[in-house]
Structure 1
Amino acid sequence: MLKFRGKSILVLALSISAIACQPESENAEVRFVEKIDSQSTNQYYVSNRAPLVPSALIKLPVGAVKPKGFLKEYLLRQKEGLTGNLGQISAWLQKQDNAWLSPDGEGEWGWEEVPYWLKGYANIGYILEDQKMIDEAMVWIEGTLNSQREDGNFGPKHFDGENQDFWANMIMLYCLQSYYEHSEDPRVLELMTNYFKYELSVPDENFLEGYWQKLRGGDNLHSVIWLYNRTGDEFLLELAEKIHRNTANWEGRDLPLDQIKNYYEVRDGGEVPDWYRNQVDWHNVNHAQAFREPAQYYLLSKNKADLKASYENFEIMRNHFGQVPGGMFGADEDARPGYADPRQGVETCGMVEQMNSDEHMLRITGDPFWGDHAEEVAFNTYPAAVMPDFKALHYITSPNMALLDAENHFPGIGNKGPFLMMNPFSSRCCQHNHSQGWPYFIENLWMATPDNGVVAAIYGESIVKVKVGDGTEVQLEETTHYPFEEEIQFAVSSPKDVEFPLYLRIPAWTNGASIKINGELVKSDLSGIGFAKIQRTWKNGDLISLTLPMEVQTKRWEKNNNSLSISRGPLTYSLKIREKYLKKDSDETAISDSKWQKGVDTKKWPSWEVHPVTDWNYSILVDENDPASSVEVMMGKWPKSDFPFTLEEVPIKMVVKAQQIPEWQFDEYGLVGELKDLPKTSDQPIVDVTLIPMGAARLRITAFPELTTNPKIDE
């Protein structure tokens, strides 16, 4: 069981205890709570209906949260980059002969790519209030709404063998839900109702049969619950039960090998380890996306064993393949026993699906751990998967990777082909699916609470408009350079005085957080994973200041050759490696299934190799009993571009002592050598090296090899 501050995640998830503090000045009552009480029901935002488990946290409609700072810059770069232009370059998004625009569902192009892309593209339009993007999204939304057939089915006629393939429709349902939040168009509820009646009519033996749809039924379940909370139609509860029993068994343990769904292999032809039978599938995206299905079903079953199963799924993957910094795991595409070194990576799809799952789990459970984890992936792993201008991305990103090129690195990574190349046309799933990462993250920064309050659930510079207390709509403006700096400011704008609870998430990594209201300290020394609840009558112009002290911390990854990582606050740090970018022709470096529209000028969409200019084979020397004494933290100016995730503009760095390990080189597969093959000592001189936040390092060493003799500390 993973533990934080001595408490298991599961205990935190199921606990409803609160630790009260004395009322403070500024007429504010400040309390630390491990969970937000869910006994009441929010009056202004759609929450779980009976008999479902009451909502722990409630998603606000798309557009209620507006990003500022680098989060807004990310959306603008997506708009001008790959996300905003895929409609003109991706073969799967061409309108001619596209089954998503066909009333009868016929057409050459018609599977997951359109809804994958539309999830992010449309929501960026809604969030930025960009009418051109909204109009383009509406072409696809209208096509979908007009595609419903007499039996209730909609979308492309796509089959998995002899059975209907429900997978792509699961993604499009997300798009329709966001559109409904934006527009309240009643046609969405009508389509979904008729479609779910169709699903209920399909015999079990023909329902969710196949690979992707069977594993990802949790997304279908999510949409059924979403609709039930809006219409109350009781048949939807029957359908929810049907979906769960026909979805792959994500609660299964000690399963027969023939029930493991993904392709798998064991290194050097060894035996399949017993623990491998404790997950129904080890495909990286399936796991990131579907580990939460039991928790989604828990909302209906009310059986805490279902909720526990999702926590266990998360832990099982990380115990065996996630002993690395950055929050993800080394599955490449399918996790392979014997391949768990930090040079193994995760698909870009896996990152954004994990972020989405974290956001789901945060709303389902109210457990702040999921807010911590969403930030960990978003700030450390995801940024380096794409080019800074968002015009190319690669399939696999690893904690330790010192070369990105167009070569085949199999079997070092579990994919054959140029899967490390930054290419705008490769990896058709990630090419389209990456679009959801930042808009969904932004939508979940703020959430409504059951007691008509609001919570800063995930931190990022933003503005939220939300109904609270007696129904007054207030605006909260969050100003910060978090996660690079400790201070977060909140400004209240309200047409009148209004009482409501404001909750601020206290991350697990901080000690001694403090809160000021209008410049006056109201609470200090807040520690422990949970929330600070501030109950107060708020006035227009009130200012709240939250300080989250960021200490330098180290972590030993004992299961991964006792490697070492170093962090400060939510950011993990990597060795700074100077990068040389080599432009390549995308026609020559795309993977085999890449396709683009006829007439596209691929010269305008080049691919990139990234080569190291400086040495990368270092391990750092840190006093683990007092890490701060070994590190010089250097704060720089905030970039004028508002984009801190590049070597040139990252606003913070660390200087630390290090030694080279000459034996650590690229191996025969062109990858950073595995840690297990390295010596534990080095006779090289001690030098200063620079570390930068992991997300800014497209080439990075983040899990440092163990050196048992540390001259700096032993002298």
Structure 2
Amino acid sequence: MKANRREWLAGVAALAVCAVPFKGLAAIAPRIPLRAKPLPLTDVRLRPSDYATAVEVNIAYLLSLSPDRFLHNFRKYAGLEPKAPIYGGWESDTIAGHTLGHYITALVLGWQQTGNAECRRRADYIVDELALCQAQRKDGYIGALGRKTKDGQIVDGEQIFPEVMKGQIKSGGFDLNGSWSPLYTVHKYFAGLLDVHGAWGNAKALTVVTGLAGYFETVFAALNDAQMQELLGCEYGGLNDSYAELYARTGDARWLAVAERIYDKRVLDPLVAQEDKLSNFHANTQVPKLIGLARIHELTGKDDPGRAARFFFDRVTQHHSYVIGGNADREYFFEPDTVALHLTESTCEHCNSYNMLKLTRHLYGWQPDGALFDYYERAHLNHVMSAQNPANAGFTYMTPMMSGAPRGYSQPDEDAFWCCVGSGMESHAKHGDSIYWEGDDTLFVNLYIPSEAQWKAKGVGLTLDTEYPFKPDIKLTIDAVKQGAFSLALRIPGWANGRFGLSVNGAPVSVTPANGYAVVTRRWKKGDVVALSLPLDLRLESAPGAPDVVAVVRGPMVMAADLGPSEMDWTGVEPAMVGEDPLAAFAPIVSDRPRYRTQNIIRPANLAFVPFYSQYERRSAVYFKRFSESAWKTEEAAFLAEQARQKDLAARSIDIMHLGEMQPERDHALTSELSYPASYRGRNGRDARSGGYFEFNMKVKPGPLLLQATYWGGERKRSFDIMVDNVKLATQSLDNDKPGKFLDVDYPIPEALTKGKTSVKVRFVPHDRSSAGPVFGVRLFTAKPATAA
């Protein structure tokens, strides 16, 4: 880290030397602190804006939920009578309890952000209940997670951990001895309890989390290194982060030792070595591991964890992310710079961005750099804000980048407690937590969100008024000040290209930005007003690795073509952008929000462009393949034919199974023996070995149907049967049939197999001493009339 500090200081010095006076005003040579921390959330209050609305809607949702329903399994498995029935959805599966951890943290954040006393009361109540459950169990363990038995019953999942201690570890990546990502769930309890303790010093919360930490310290101590790595092959969330934080709170070195042992070598060693091998890894499984490494770096000063965290951040944000700041397709990282190949209906899991913003905060605290908040702002505004529907407090799981795909929001009156519902509870309780940061005598303003703040270290109170990012003007007013001399650092986004206007009390100020900031140093007094204006011009941004695939951006805000309401089927073809100077064809529409109408630039028809995040119940197009007029004439027929083919296939599809991916496999009730996830050429799949199988449900409807399976065409020789409701549909042999390409094979389904049914079971069974697949997806769709016979 010493070299980085020298480079940082040299960069700041060079920028200061290059500062040039402007019309007689002295240029300011800023000094940027090397460390920073956010102002406490309790010292920031939001003023009216979409962000404040999101917090208000979210807290109302939090208070509509029942702590006792979340606590049902905790009490039941501790031998206590539950006080309320359990919630459904994921909370009635073996991952039960994960939502309670998020819920505790969201209550803490809600109290910090708004002062809502009921949020604090509920958090303390939950801690009391968990302490009671822990006392009843007597071994330090608390938990609601379950374990599914062979007959389909769910029982107390605690019984898997004595098995693990004996070296009995069976996992396919998200399951561990019959439980769904149990250490991931345990991490949520840890995090929630630590947050309650950190917010207002609830000592009982620290006692409970210390007991829980001791229980798992014993579990891990029973494993040799190879067994520990086998265990860590199953998703464990940010458990390393929690143990590191427990060390920070208590000073007990045993917790740091556990934190450092929770280290998945397969994923993390390449990142330490500065190698991007992220493709085909489940994205949100990895991000928390790097947050944990960042915390370990902060506590120990060791270079490797910090180096891995920085490298990971750079690779994800620069080479694996979409224009809205989200990442991953169907939850998985893909090959670097292939975003344009992954514009699907299942992009941008919210949990990924929730965790990437956490990681950004760590990196920023080490070395304040405006570029980090350029990313933070992009993801916060365009992804996080799009992931909550303010009309009903619902949350998205994925935010689709495929043109015409609707967003799917959870319904608060349903038991949809996905992981992204939990992270959504947290994200929308804390929109003030990264606006202001302090470092030495500098106050950084990183997000231009209407708010009031108290910088208690300097006795400063200030108000930020703005309609940014809709309008360019930002005003900061000093409402109170005790120690008047300090620096105010205003982030100048990279997309502004150095263009901005700055004044103090109406007088222009000339400043050369340093590390992404315009810094004004003076002796401030009450009533001083700083005005900043940022250019909000339209521009095109290419998808990484695909210069001919572009999105439209205005300042930090992604603009989307409006394709109509979600409740109406979208029957158009994917729009393209044609012309030599596309932006010249965007004409503004008079509105309180930025809106544009295109003229003769979008094919097949003109469209209105609006802020992407606000398309809650509308269909959008974000990315556009770009053509010159001459190229379009050549490509139009083929382009439209391919779009029509894909649309026809989508329209005829009844059900799609993405094998090797966590949520689709659970949604389709996959069961298997001797079967494992696989990844080839950027696609995930599943195989089965001799003596095993994999089977899953698929929807059907009356009439002639086809089942399509996708294979890698270059497979070595293998053969297997495909069964539908235990009747053999086909025998498939693979033997290097289509080298270098994926292979789609269609199998007609006899109508007798589906007559009178709404679903069937599809099973892949390898022949003796062979294997089935890997299969990279199964689609069930209606046959065209011409092929019905």
Give the TM-score, by structure 2 length. Answer: 0.63
State the one-letter code of the partner of 1:130. Answer: N
What is the aligned partner in structure 2 of residue 78 from structure 1?
A: 58
Q: Is the 8 A contact 2:141 2:211 kept in 1?
A: no
* 2:109 aligned residue (119, 123, 127): 123
Write the mapping of 1:66-465 to structure 2, written as runs, cut at 5 A.
66-69=45-48, 70-81=50-61, 83-87=62-66, 92=70, 97=75, 111-145=97-131, 153=140, 155-156=142-143, 159=158, 161=161, 162-163=163-164, 166-188=183-205, 203-206=220-223, 209-211=231-233, 214=236, 216-224=238-246, 226-227=248-249, 233=251, 235-236=252-253, 239-249=255-265, 250-253=267-270, 278-279=277-278, 282-317=281-316, 321-322=320-321, 324-335=322-333, 340-343=341-344, 344-404=346-406, 424-426=414-416, 428-449=418-439, 451-465=440-454
Deviation at 1:221, TM superposition (A): 4.7
Pairing 1:553–2:539 present: yes
Change (3 A) 1:493 1:146: farther
**Cα distance, 1:533 vs structure 2:** 2.5
Structure 1 residues 633 and 30 mapped into 2: Cα distance closer, same or farther (>3 Å)? farther
Question: Which blocks of at least 5 consecutive residues in structure 1 are unaligned?
Answer: 1-8, 39-55, 256-274, 406-418, 582-610, 638-650, 662-683
Q: Amino acid of the residue matched to residue 329 of structure 1? A: N
Counterpart CA distance in 1 for 2:552 and 2:63 is 36
- Alignment RMSD, CA only? 4.2
Tell me, yes or no, if the aligned pair for 2:271 and 2:308 is still in contact at 8 Å: no
Matched, 1:17 2:18: no
Match of 1:442, SS? Answer: coil
Q: Secondary structure at the match of 1:30?
A: coil
SS of residue matched to 1:545: strand
Aligned-pair distance for 1:195? 5.7
| 2:33 is aligned with 1:37 | yes
The one-letter amino acid paired with 2:55 is L
Specify whether residues 78 and 520 from structure 1 end up closer, same or farther in structure 2 by C-alpha distance, changes over 3 A only.
same
- Equivalent residues of 1:27, 1:536 under 8 A apart: no
Cα distance, 1:564 vs. partner? 0.9
Corresponding residue of 2:587: 632
Deviation at 1:430, TM superposition (A): 1.9
**Could you say if the C-alpha distance between residues 548 and 180 of structure 1 is closer, same or farther in structure 2, counting changes exceeding 3 Å?**
farther
Bigger radius of gyration:
2
Distance verdict in 2 for CA 1:59–1:187, change over 3 Å: farther
CA displacement 1:403-425 (0-9 Å, x = unmatched): 338xxxxxxxxxxxxx7876753
Higher mean alpha-carbon deviation, 431-440 vs 151-160, is at 151-160
The match for 1:617 is 574
Go from structure 1 to structure 2 and tell me whether the alpha carbon gap of 1:95 and 1:29 turns closer, same or farther (over 3 Å shift): farther
Shift of residue 618, structure 1, vs aligned partner:
1.7
The answer to which of 704-713 and 305-314 deviates more is 704-713
User: Structure 1's 345 and 528: CA in aligned 2 closer, same or farther, altered over 3 A?
Assistant: farther
- Spell out, residue by residue over 1:437-486, the C-alpha distance to the aligned partner (whole angstroms, 9 max, x if none): 1334421221221x1432213331111112234xxx22121111222222
Distance 2:102 2:257 in 1: 26
Secondary structure of 2:196's aligned partner: helix
Cα deviations by residue, 1:230-280 (Å, 9 ceiling, x for unpaired):
x5x2x33x532441232213432299xxxxxxxxxxxxxxxxxxx88x239
CA contact 2:578–2:626 (8 Å) conserved in 1 = no
Once structures 1 and 2 are overlaid, which stretch shifts more, 143-152 or 313-322? 143-152
Aligned to 2:518: 532
TM-superposition CA deviations, 1:218-238 (whole Å, max 9, x none): 4325523642xxx5x2x33x5
Deviation at 1:307, TM superposition (A): 2.7
Q: Deviations over 1:78-134 (max 9, x none)?
A: 1234x342328x954558946699799xx9875311011222233113322222333
Partner amino acid, structure 1, of 2:575: Y
The amino acid across from 2:241 in the alignment is: D
Give the drift of 1:27: 10
- Tell me how far apart the structure 1 counterparts of residues 139 and 38 of structure 2 sit (CA, whole Å): 28
User: Deviation at 1:701?
Assistant: 0.9
Deviation at 1:695, TM superposition (A): 0.8
| TM-score, normalization by structure 1 | 0.69
Kindly indicate whether the alpha-carbon contact (under 8 Å) linking 2:540 and 2:552 is maintained by their aligned counterparts in 1: yes
Q: Cα offset for 1:145?
A: 4.9
| 2: CA distance, partners of 1:175 / 1:452 | 33
| 2:465 aligned partner, one-letter code | T
The residue type equivalent to 1:348 in the other structure is: H
Q: Tell me the alpha carbon deviations over residues 569-620 of structure 1, each in whole angstroms, 9 at most, x when there is no partner.
A: 1011110122143xxxxxxxxxxxxxxxxxxxxxxxxxxxxx3568463223
For the 8 Å contact 2:248–2:299, the answer to whether it is kept is no
Question: In 2, distance between residues paired with 1:304 and 1:23?
Answer: 40
**What is the CA–CA distance in structure 1 between the aligned matches of 2:78 and 2:6, rounded to whole Å?**
45
| 1:505-531 Cα deviation digits (max 9, x unpaired) | 22211132232111111225x557522
**Structure 2 counterpart of 1:577, one-letter code:** L
Which residue does the alignment assign to 2:777? Answer: none
**Aligned equivalent of 1:697:** 615
Give the strand-richer structure, 1 or 2.
2
Checking the alignment, whether the CA contact within 8 Å between 2:128 and 2:204 is kept in structure 1 is no
1:394–1:127 distance in 2 versus 1, CA, 3 Å: closer
Identity score, percent: 14
**Deviations, residues 331-355 of structure 1 (Å, cap 9, x unaligned):** 2123466994222412222232223
Q: How big is each residue's C-alpha offset from its partner over 1:36-68, in whole Å with a ceiling of 9 and x where there is no partner?
A: 323xxxxxxxxxxxxxxxxx2213333111112
Aligned mates of 1:16, 1:558 — CA distance in 2: 27
In the alignment, the residues of structure 2 paired with residue 101 and residue 481 of structure 1 have an alpha-carbon distance, to the nearest angstrom, of 54
What SS class does the counterpart of residue 386 from structure 2 fall into?
helix
**Other structure's SS at 2:264 match:** coil
CA distance in 2: counterparts of 1:501 and 1:212, whole angstroms: 47
**Which shifted more, 217-226 or 390-399?**
217-226
What residue in structure 2 maps to residue 46 of structure 1? none
